[in-house]
Chains A and B, each alone.
Chain A
């Protein structure tokens, strides 16, 4: 009977979605978006849109393979823009009413008067909300896979990984929608609070990105300064040794070194300042990391797909083409490619267990609270 009831609830959820215009509009847009990938082509002469060459894009199959090009397009445009943002907003609008509708007077009595436990009823209804996203991302991934197969000449089944990954990503947000929907019984409230929560996560992610970029660039400054100080110091020592050729045992004192090269003192002060900044930034990044540990990792979850699909070197670009950053105050150059690599490594050294484990823990806690409230509430 469990299977029968679950199937009935999923069929009902599908009928509900089917009755909503927004569902079909989203599905249609999803397919159109993925088909749009087919309009972009790449060959040895460059990138084309339909029959037109796009001259300003310095890409061709000598620089990047067609497979890499399409996978990158799928990852950045399809996943990064369409599924992560536009389709997710449409999904929140479409599914935020599922739990409030369930607990509406006249609906909930009929459901609770059936031989199904409250917890199972709630969790099944919750799962039906994820079905919307699953259908959407499945359509998108399958069409994209076919497009890349036809246009790029490679069948890449790893694209289908987008289905579980995006569903996981959405489930983290949807647990908030369900929780607020259950408490407030209001679709609008559930939708708005989810939007705010998502916005908060976005701001935290953005903040972390900025802090880690600063931290890594400061670390590079510190390394560069240390190297410069070591070089200046050894040059100064050599100079002092040359001034005292008679004494083979001669070792200049610290005072003599600093007297000979007074800039070293400034270098040391600047180095200490940078180290202090590095420690402060370290505290900030650790604090943000701690806050993020208890929150769902939406951006990192989506990035799991990139980890699987796109090679690291394709993500980080060609080192030789990057312009070095010049610090006007110290005239220390840091390599932008190295900085990008370091920042990316900082994010990618986070384990899948941490990303998904803590996110599922967040979702589990919220769902546990929902089940507890739903099981105890009088309707």
Chain B
């Protein structure tokens, strides 16, 4: 798959003290929806800003849409919605879209057509001529999304696009993102709402402490952590656990905090039946049995917990333990 974003060893150090990015390697393929996760201060926004030339990287190798990162001309093909956007309140949404369209080099006729079209897509057509100052946060977010699409971008970078948007609006935005993907565009999402990302992302990266710790499809990331789970009505004794282990040779158990539960790294239900039999013969009742895959949230929490400093808000200072 052709890479839309392909960067290696991105570093950003602020005032020679704060190490915000510590060698980020990231690859985003064309036509996919890519999610970047991470706790506060992990460096997600800094990375996005480096790609968009808002921040100058201390070190950066790689390309954005085939051009070297930092090349302004390539931004003509990029749409961007920042997290804390502050669009001028004196403009109407139609004027805002036309303005940013012009700033991206969209011709006048196309600008006018596209503005009307996009306002309809994001459900803001009836508010096209109302000033942004009168909008709710969710409405501004919708207009912001439309703004990011004015130049028919090949790559759309959205920082917390569903922030402040109601459930219906979130669903609408998810549909828009899926539609953009169907059109062959690449969407790069930066969000804290893991359930939202899980629903739409093809691939995700988990960033902790200025480094990408994991990267891949959700299946790839959960590989070895998903399997069939058996839950008994009472805590399972160590004796029974040993018996089950001896019967399920070649199937790795997956660690779980629940004492009533056993999880096995296999997708074959038949292979887990001896465990159920052993539990029953040991006088235990089975409460539940089924396939279990960790949620994105669980993956995220696990990744952060593996790097304790990563849970701390703010970027790491130079010299601190990684």
Contact = CB atoms under 8 A, between A and B. Distances in A.
Interface of A: 1, 4-5, 7-9, 11-12, 15-16, 18-19, 104-117, 376, 378-379
20 contacts: A4-B105, A4-B107, A11-B99, A12-B99, A16-B90, A106-B82, A106-B85, A106-B86, A106-B87, A107-B86, A110-B80, A110-B100, A111-B103, A113-B52, A113-B53, A115-B74, A115-B76, A378-B49, A378-B55, A379-B54
Contacts of A16: 88, 90
B61 interface: no
Interface in B80-97: 80, 82, 84-88, 90-91, 95
A106 B84 contact: yes
A109 B90 contact: no
Given A5-B103, A378-B55, A117 B90 contact: no
Contacts of A379: 49, 54-55
B286 interface: no
Nearest to B101: A8
A146 B104 CA distance: 42
Given A110-B147, A378-B49, 8 more contacts: A4-B107, A9-B103, A105-B84, A109-B52, A112-B54, A114-B103, A378-B14, A378-B54
Contacts of A105: 84, 86
A115 B84 CA distance: 21
A61 to B, nearest CB: 50
B102 interface: yes
A281 B80 CA distance: 63
Nearest to B20: A378
Contact of A108 (B54, B72, B80, B105): B54
A341 to B, nearest CB: 52
Nearest to B108: A4
Nearest to B89: A19
Interface string B98-126: 11101111010000000000000000000
B75 A115 contact: yes
B72 A115 contact: yes
B78 interface: yes
B54 A15 contact: no
A11 B92 CA distance: 13
A41 to B, nearest CB: 42
Contact of A115 (B73, B91, B147): B73
B213 interface: no
B312 interface: no
A16 B78 CA distance: 26
B80 A8 contact: no
Nearest to A104: B86
A376 B56 contact: yes
Contacts of B98: 8
Interface in B59-75: 72-75
Given A12-B88, A378-B14, A109 B49 contact: yes
Given A15-B95, A16-B88, A115-B73, A110 B82 contact: yes
A5 B84 contact: no
Contacts of A111: 103
Residue of B80, B86, B102 most packed against chain A (CB within 10 A): B102
Interface in B178-234: none
Contacts of A117: 72
Contact of A116 (B72, B82, B90): B72
Contacts of A15: 88, 90-91, 95
Given A5-B105, A379-B55, A113 B75 contact: yes
A201 B107 CA distance: 46
Interface string B141-159: 0000001000000000000
Contacts of B76: 115
A114 B56 contact: no
Please list the 5 inter-chain residue pairs (A to B) with the smallest Cβ-Cβ separation, ordered nearest first.
Answer: A106-B86, A19-B90, A8-B102, A1-B105, A109-B82
